Structures are given as C-alpha cells and as structure tokens.
Chains A and B, each alone.
Chain A
Amino acid sequence: AQSVSQHNHHVILSEAASLELGCNYSYGGTVNLFWYVQYPGQHLQLLLKYFSGDPLVKGIKGFEAEFIKSKFSFNLRKPSVQWSDTAEYFCAVNPGYSSASKIIFGSGTRLSIRP
C-alpha cells in the first residue's frame, strides 16, 4: 500500500538553528509531492510543492525541499528557523497524474522553536 513516512514526530530547536524534516514515500510511479504547515489553531497551508523539473524546490517563508528519486525522499529544510515556525508540518504525496487523485499524508512532525 502507498504510504508516507515522517520519522520525526517532535523536533525541538532553538532559534537560528538549521532544520531538516525527513519524508519518505513508498510508490514506484510518478508522484507529486507537497509540504503543508498547520500553525496552532489554524488550517492547512501549502509550503511548497514538486511536480517535475528542478528537484530542489523553494517555497514560502524560506523553506525548501529536495526530491531525491533514488531515495524516495522529499526532505524539508530551512537554514535558520524562527520562533514563528512553531507548527505541525505534513509531508504529502499525490501518486497520480492529476489533482483528482487522492493525496496521502504523513503522520506529521511537530516543530517547537525555543525563543
């Protein structure tokens, strides 16, 4: 069955530290990849997405992610985190050819930033 794994359940960092959140998926075909963020008490927001082309994708708020096809990975990175980055982060995969295909979410990683 198709699945998305986020190995870090809770990450705690100090401000200005670098961030990398892992995401691996199990699907051998063409995939579309997403990272979503959910701030406390708010709804999902799209951070960045990969459909094709350059495997290094830049998103909003200084986030980026790299698609490594051979490793089935799409890790999220940020060079210097801020307190306002405290949120839940979800990796998601759309294993299909259109947005009419269902999206599979990872279990999420809670990021806590110490001021």
Chain B
Amino acid sequence: GAVVSQHPSWVICKSGTSVKIECRSLDFQATTMFWYRQFPKQSLMLMATSNEGSKATYEQGVEKDKFLINHASLTLSTLTVTSAHPEDSSFYICSAGGLAGEFTYEQYFGPGTRLTVT
C-alpha cells in the first residue's frame, strides 16, 4: 500500500515551453503533497507544500509564478514549470502525507521526474 506515482518519468522540452508533472497517490488519499527538487549529487530541496483545495505554500526563494502547483483532489497534485529554461533542468520528486482517515508521520515518495530543458 501507500504507492505514489509520477508522470512522466522523464521529459525533454524546449526552452520557453511549459511542462506539467503529475503526482498521484494510487491506493490512498493524501491531504498534503510536497514537491522537491534534486540537483545531481545533491539533496532534496523542498519547493512547496500543497494542501487539497487550497493554495500551495512555497519555500523561500521558489518562484510561485514559475512553478505552479495545483492540488485539486485527494489523489492528485500537479506541478507546472512555466516558460522553462535550461537552469530548470532537474529531478522533481513529490511525496504524499497527511493521509485522510489515518494518522501517520510517514510521507510516501514518488519515483521522480527528470526534466531536461534544451
């Protein structure tokens, strides 16, 4: 149980275009989803926290107009990288927590999406 999927797993886009990444909790409902960014050989940096039905909370230094987050349901959150540039190339990872109907301290991580902007 507690499986989180991400789609796509790998995407290449041209500079200036927008890319949408989906994060789904497959067998549970999550009130909160988190989006992380990981540069090569570095740690995970939290970008934002999204709660179902409300606006996302962004970490300091993360441009909310560039990284649009939508959490429309208890099983789906999306991250849209708008007007992508090569410096946005990275590994994006989501996690789901605050399981609806359960109380647990654990978050469940997705497999990540590798974005390459050319």
Chain A residues closer than 8 Å to B111, beta-carbon distance: 43
Q: Which of A90, A98, A106, A110 contacts B105 (CB 8 A)?
A: A98
Q: Which residue of B lies closest to A94 (CB)?
A: B105
Complex-state Cα separation, A29 to B59, whole angstroms = 21
* CB <8 Å contact, A99 and B93: no
Complex-state Cα separation, A96 to B46, whole angstroms = 16
A33 to chain B, nearest CB (A): 10
Chain B residues closer than 8 Å to A94, beta-carbon distance: 105, 107
Q: Which of B31, B42, B106 contacts A49 (CB 8 A)?
A: B106
Chain B interface, DSSP helix/strand/loop, else mixed: strand
Chain A interface, DSSP helix/strand/loop, else mixed: loop
- Chain A interface: which of B15-23, B68-76, B80-88, B96-104? B96-104
B67 to chain A, nearest CB (A): 16
Chain B residues closer than 8 Å to A44, beta-carbon distance: 44, 93, 109, 112
Check if B43 is an interface residue, CB within 8 A of chain A: yes
Please judge, given known A-B contacts A44-B93, A90-B44, A106-B43, whether A99 and B105 are in contact too, CB under 8 Å: yes
